[in-house]
Chain A
Amino acid sequence: AQKVTQAQTEISVVEKEDVTLDCVYETRDTTYYLFWYKQPPSGELVFLIRRNSFDEQNEISGRYSWNFQKSTSSFNFTITASQVVDSAVYFCALRLYNFNKFYFGSGTKLNVKP
């Protein structure tokens, strides 16, 4: 069975702090895809990143970076120098190769205070 765990229910930081959101996944499949979505207070989920299981290269996009480690089944998301606009709920998700269904984690609510 597939499962995605986001153990951090809610995190509060002060603006300009760095913050890491954890995501741990479970699957026995060898080919799969991992995703992060952002859900701001407005409610609409926004796709942030997709990662393939065979590509463990970390990715950086501006203040965002993602650390994918197959050895620990983790796909963590770091925001550097957080800003108030980063306040949102962040969801991690897993999709298996050749299947359309997504498995979502329960989300982590990030509060960035000025």
Chain B
Amino acid sequence: GAGVSQSPSNKVTEKGKDVELRCDPISGHTALYWYRQSLGQGLEFLIYFQGNSAPDKSGLPSDRFSAERTGGSVSTLTIQRTQQEDSAVYLCASSFGLAASSTDTQYFGPGTRLTVL
């Protein structure tokens, strides 16, 4: 597609349930990033993929959070046993992943709004 797409756009779940959030990056982008944005807050880095590997998982807040990427394209962020504090907008971004390039830029998707009741 033309831009980064994310699904679902909204997800309401009950505490304790597992959720999966999907990100489809811009075609040709090898790098993919997940961020979390709580209401009125800034961007919290979660994890970054280069191809299918995740060189930086430092932002994952707990072992309930995991992410994978297959085929160098779509990524899934999974939150197990959701808690109310997981409620936030989860943003995905992608880039060409050319770290040595001055033009490499992240482009963001519309986000998934997760509400844990």
A residues lining the B interface (CB < 8 Å): 33, 35, 37, 42-47, 50, 52, 91, 95, 97-102, 104-107
Chain B contact residue count (CB 8 A cutoff): 26
Question: Are the C-beta atoms of A98 and B100 separated by less than 8 Å?
Answer: yes
Q: A100-B97, A104-B42, A107-B42 are in contact. Are A33 and B102 (CB under 8 A)?
A: yes
Q: Are B33 and A102 in contact (CB under 8 A)?
A: yes
Find chain B residues with CB under 8 A from A105 CB: 42
Taking the closest CB of chain A, its distance from the CB of B98, in whole angstroms, is: 9
A35, A42, A52, A95 — most chain B CB neighbours (10 Å): A95
Tell me which residues across on chain A come within 8 A of B75, comparing CB atoms. none
Residue on B with the closest CB to A31?
Answer: B102
The smallest beta-carbon distance between B114 and chain A, in angstroms, is 13
Q: What B residues does A46 contact at CB under 8 A?
A: 108
Q: With A50-B105, A98-B100 given, can you name 18 additional A-B contacts, CB distance below 8 Å?
A: A33-B104, A37-B108, A43-B89, A44-B109, A44-B111, A45-B91, A46-B108, A47-B106, A47-B107, A50-B102, A50-B103, A100-B48, A100-B104, A101-B45, A101-B48, A102-B33, A102-B106, A105-B42
A113 to B110, CA, bound (A): 25
Interface set, chain B 51-88, CB cutoff 8 A to A:
56
- In the complex, the chain B residue whose C-beta lies closest to that of A42 is B110
State whether A45 and B42 are in contact (beta carbons under 8 Å apart), knowing that A97-B99, A97-B100, A101-B48 are contacts in the complex.
Answer: no
Chain B, Cβ-Cβ closest to A52: B102
The chain A residue with its CB closest to the CB of B89 is: A43
**B1 → chain A closest CB, angstroms:** 14
Please give me the 5 A-B residue pairs with the lowest Cβ-Cβ distance, nearest first: A106-B42, A45-B108, A104-B43, A44-B110, A98-B99
In the complex, A43→B35 CA distance in Å? Answer: 13
Report which residue of A37, A42, A105 has the largest number of chain B beta carbons within 10 angstroms of its beta carbon: A37
Closest Cβ of chain B to A87, distance in Å, is 15
